[in-house]
Amino acid sequence: MEKKIITISREFGSGGRTIGHLVAEKLGIPFYDKELVDHIALESGFAPRFVEENGEHAPGSSFFAYAFAQQSVPGIMNGLSTADFLWNIQCQVILQLADKGPCVIVGRNADYILKDRKDCLHTFIHADMDFRADRIVRLYGESEKSPLARLQEKDKRRRVNYHHYTGRDWGDAQNYDICLNSSTLGVDACADIILKIVENT
């Protein structure tokens, strides 16, 4: 197994998390998604909920975020914005986890952070809007906003965050070893394709 670290970038609602979980389970290797949030929270001093909501989103200048950060980690941020401080911690944590051994890492621009390692398989999971809309209502419940509006807002925030910190375009095939449409191929089939690639390297 030459490709030891699998990064899963994913559109919200595409099933990327489920695919990553299936792959990690079959390979018997750690799966970092919520666990990644906990690591970053521990290193940064932010609450897990705050990390989860801000780690992949647009670098904002929200007064509340800044005030919250100042209270949480006084004197540690060295004049960085909350978003930049969080980004630095995120990079450190992801690089350290990759050094520890084979794993699956979901989201958080890990494809870019680990781009110089040769033992990574960088994947991107996307899906048609209808499939994603149906999935987020089933998995995350109804909301005041329409499913489409929720998807568009999430896409926009991830796109802006990704471009800001990597200089790349979100969803550009060139950034990944493999991109899969989970709505046309199926969630299980996507996991199988990734597993076969990893097993054959």
Positions in the binding site for a copy of itself (CB under 8 A):
124, 126, 171-174, 176-181, 184-185, 189, 193, 196-197, 200
Which SS3 state, helix, strand or coil, does residue 80 take? coil
Q: Report in angstroms how near the CB of residue 164 gets to a copy of itself at its nearest.
A: 19
How far apart (Å, rounded) are the C-alpha atoms in residues 120 and 5?
5
Which SS3 state, helix, strand or coil, does residue 93 take? helix
Amino acid at 41: A
Cβ closer to a copy of itself: 39 or 158? 158
Q: Report in angstroms how near the CB of residue 20 gets to a copy of itself at its nearest.
A: 17
Q: Report in angstroms how near the CB of residue 83 gets to a copy of itself at its nearest.
A: 25
Cβ closer to a copy of itself: 160 or 179? 179
Amino acid at 144: E
How far apart (Å, rounded) are the C-alpha atoms in residues 79 and 6?
34
Task: Give the torsion through C-alpha atoms of 185, 146, 21, 105, to 10 deg.
Answer: 100
Cβ closer to a copy of itself: 52 or 177? 177
How far apart (Å, rounded) are the C-alpha atoms in residues 81 and 127?
33
Cα 23 from chain centroid (whole Å)? 16
How far apart (Å, rounded) are the C-alpha atoms in residues 201 and 197?
6
Q: Report in angstroms how near the CB of residue 196 gets to a copy of itself at its nearest.
A: 7
Q: Report in angstroms how near the CB of residue 179 gets to a copy of itself at its nearest.
A: 4
How far apart (Å, rounded) are the C-alpha atoms in residues 131 and 13?
8
Cβ closer to a copy of itself: 163 or 196? 196
Q: Report in angstroms how near the CB of residue 133 gets to a copy of itself at its nearest.
A: 15
